[in-house]
Amino acid sequence: MPGLGLLEADPLASQSRSETPSSWESPEITVSAALFAKFQHLIYRETGIWLSESKTALLCGRLSRRLRALQLRSLRDYYQVVVEPDQHLERMLMIDAITTNETRFFREPRHFEYLANTVFPQWQMLARQGLRSKKIRIWSAGCSTGEEPYSLAMLLARHFPRGDGWEPRILATDISTRVLAVARKAVYQIANYVDIPPDLLQQFMLRGYGEYEGEMKVVREIRHMVDFKRLNLGEETYPVGESFDAIFCRNVLIYFDAAAKSRVVEKLMRHLVPRGLLFIGHAENLHSLTQGLQSVAPTVYVQRNEQSKLRRDS
């Protein structure tokens, strides 16, 4: 298979790892209950994410790099910097630091099986009957380093070839500019291939050789199906510009409190087409959060007045 091209440096990552004088020593980082509460409310206002009191060690550990980069001695000093009105970039870097971005290709495979075995045949049938267009739009909300949207793109390319007139596209968003930079490069350790179906792996991944040994890259066809964009689910509105046949918001809602979670789900629903599907993580549930959704499969929902139009997965 073709080798990988030259990998470009990540300018944002370089900025966040700015050099500090060798004479500067990192202090022991601690946070008082009162200061932690200030960070809690700041992060909640910025993102809708609520850090529980059990996350004090996480906050200290994740922000230690920002203190080193800015040569600050304490989290109190850092807080005074990050709340300044002109420190938008630093607030963004703070969010990058505290968010968790665990993902992998074809994570939670039952969702992909449900798409291939239940949803895609319905879309194909409706298109043959002239009841839907061949334009397919899916949103990966909380896409992390890109494995989820690229997995979806591979599956769409297999089932809806452009040569047959289909137009599948994926919007992939995340709050972290750091992970979006990784996703756009589309280069991964080859050890991460294990969950990719063998036929899709062979068709849609390039193996690196020589100095790129041990790496793989998503092929251009798949990369061009995905549009990456920074988006904060805690914002009042989502400037996504269109409605979607399916929205994947998996393993993201667990970071919101009940009120923020309900607001996010309500806003996501506004961007679903009729009969559009919302996928959440298997560790999540929407019980008591909204009356507008009906489960059609484990952790798969449709707007309640549309649920009869979808076959429940057995």
Active site residue 62: yes
Please identify which of the residues 10, 62, 76, 169 carries the catalytic annotation. 62
Q: Which amino acid makes up residue 229?
A: K
Alpha-carbon distance 135 to 127, whole Å? Answer: 10
Strand partners, 137: 169
SS3 (DSSP) at 193: helix
Active site residue 174: yes
Q: Which amino acid makes up residue 180?
A: L
- Radius of gyration for the chain, computed over Cα atoms and rounded to the nearest angstrom: 21
Alpha-carbon distance 64 to 72, whole Å? Answer: 9
Q: Which amino acid makes up residue 271?
A: H
- Please give the span between the terminal C-alpha atoms of the chain, in angstroms, as a whole number: 39
Alpha-carbon distance 45 to 296, whole Å? Answer: 33
Cβ(47)–Cβ(232) under 8 Å? Answer: yes
Cβ neighbours of residue 174 under 8 Å, at least 6 residues apart? 101, 142, 143, 144, 180, 183, 228, 230, 231
Please identify which of the residues 66, 91, 96, 174 carries the catalytic annotation. 174
Alpha-carbon distance 32 to 276, whole Å? Answer: 46
> Directed axis angle between helix 88-98 and helix 177-185, to 10°?
70
Point out the residues that are catalytic. 62, 174
